[in-house]
Structure 1
Amino acid sequence: MAEVQGTCEGRFAGVREALARELDGDELGASVAVDLDGETVVDIWGGYRDEARTTPWTQDTITNVWSTTKCVLNLAALMLVERGELDLDAPVGDYWPEFCANGKKDVLVRHVMSHTSGVSGWEQPFSVKDMYDWPSATERLAAQRPWWEPGTASGYHAANQGFLVGEVIRRITNETFRRFVRQEIAGPLGADFQVGAKERDWGRIAPLVAPPRAEPTGEIDPDSIAVRTFTAPTMSVKATTSPEWRAADLGALNGHSNARGVLDVLRVLSLGGSAGGVRLLSEETIEQVFRQQSDGVDLVLEAPFTWGIGFCLGSPVVPYVPAGRTFFWGGWGGSLAVMDLDRRLTITYMMNRMAPGLIGNARAEAYVRAVYAAL
């Protein structure tokens, strides 16, 4: 059986065994971490950074965590709510006046945080490289019309939520999201998490391995919300290894970390707002996450999702996250973060070999089920 490094409390031995099994199967390199009631009870890793299996995944290995970054983005917005600087029920235009153009004056802050704003992507043409220009990318979002009536349905803001929420953060704080994370979140918490990646850290990055190409089934409607969202821009795994990607401020896409780094940030949400002696939120502010904003088939993901403010509250696509006072999200290919407030439990999983699908995978399911089996 594959070798697994790190620490794991005895009763969570099943999690270590699950990682070992998956490393003998489809997993290439991965890390899994669990915090229970303020203690890190699982912090394990194994496998390889590279597809040739020449460089082991080590304790300090990091990778691009795709949309798991959104969990930190929405945490940052909640911190401004906590400080009284951001009102979830206020129009986005109160903070970003230009955004009111073309029928968006009634788009609220909670809409952009819950994927219900009607602005789930950019108008064509728009490429990955266009995201590297923050002023231009945000100006284009401010100028366009919503693709559906804001607040009436969700449509996953796959690539642009980092710009929608990030620009609100920038207007309030006069700081980029990237700097806000470094100064206000990762720094105080001592977490190995960054938006993008500094050049000095490139040597410890495990490049992502793209999932098998899925052949489309049925007819594709080029005018559908899903196609318009996922083709403006069309995501590229190869782009994540470029200096431009690593230097960019992509609050929905280019967080770099591992399971322990993400855990050290997000356990704040499961523990009532503070961790390691650092308080970022009150319990009252965390409760805002549970304000349901939509419940039905997401126009972009084309499957049922229940969205609260900033996080997913449940979906049959991810049935292994239990119901109750839990919320979660993750990244393309399978990375996942689960926050369970009733149990004061946080589970994180980051990996480099991507699986098909936008959220969760069979490997993530194995680890989450093993954690809950141990409780």
Structure 2
Amino acid sequence: MLKKEDIPIYNLFINPKSLTDLKKNIWSENSVIGKINIDNKKYDIDVMFRGFYVRELNKKSYHIHFYKPKTWKGAKELHLNAEYKDHSLLRNKLSFDFFSEIGVMTPSAEHVFLVLNGKPEGVYLQLESVDEYYFKKRNIPVESIFYAIDGDANFSLISEYDNAPKKSLEMGYEIKYGMDEERLILQEFIFKVNTLLRKEFEQVIGNYIDVEKYLRWLAGVVCTQNFDGFVQNYALCRTGDSGLFEVLPWDYDGTWGRDVHGDIMEFDFVRIDGFNTLSARLLDVPSFRKLYYKILLKILQNQFTVDFMKPRIQELHTLLRPFVLKDPYKKDYIKQFDMEPEFICQYITDRNNYMKNELKKLGLN
């Protein structure tokens, strides 16, 4: 019987032959049949490895797709992230909770303990998929969902990789949900971002994207220093309520003072205005720039502080520690795990001071 201080235990079953086939071709996008037991209820699922470079690690991450029953808690699919390179196992969860606190629509995230074919696989982060079911659960109509899958999702006419004009303004995006005409709306939006003069841009851009929500998202990326989060690892969604695009964060394990490989990222590595074409255009407009710095200053005074974040960090650390000791891939690194809360708090202190000084230089606070 699980106690209140326990995290959920998920029992995943994959035929050994199917599991061997998955491991033989880790880059395959073909799923295999499996079962998962959650809260003493079994679900028939399709399962595959997920992620990019993380597929090469011993502790795999999984993409689960439900088909019998068709959904679980209103979700059609979920992601189980190994968080292997994050010494703390906290950063993704901490980031998503932080984004939610500052007013950004964010997928839910919950730590679980995964058992695969009867053997412990360790602590995982269950991430909610950003799809039509995500919006249905929140009673929000949605017209389209695009995933920013690589650096060409930079809101530019120019490719991030060869500095040449893009062959299509959809480059960098993968459509998750929406009719074909939604692609045209996305292309029109990106074209307008790059071609409108400043005055017209200020008047028109709010017809395409919720500017304040975008600036809140930008502030969140800047605070957490998700280096590649400006040009990929986000969902771009157009909701039916407003007809405007909105950005949701995704994959935030390389944050709070460390990069995606777990190495130290200095607190002043990312500038306070971030980088991508849309951010540059917005912050070039005085009214939008003032709104951004007003949002950022308020976050620096309230949520992005040690006083606000430390209790949340400590609570997560205390919750996970007994399970990290049972994690076959992480139990030998318990000292590093125990050092991370202090490391993250020091990062918050240093990063906060840095950003406040940068704001003073601009004379906008």
TM-score bin, normalised by smaller chain: under 0.3
Could you tell me the TM-score, scaled by structure 2's length?
0.25
Structure label with greater radius of gyration: 2
Question: Highest relative contact order (Cα 8 Å, sep 6+), 1 or 2?
Answer: 1
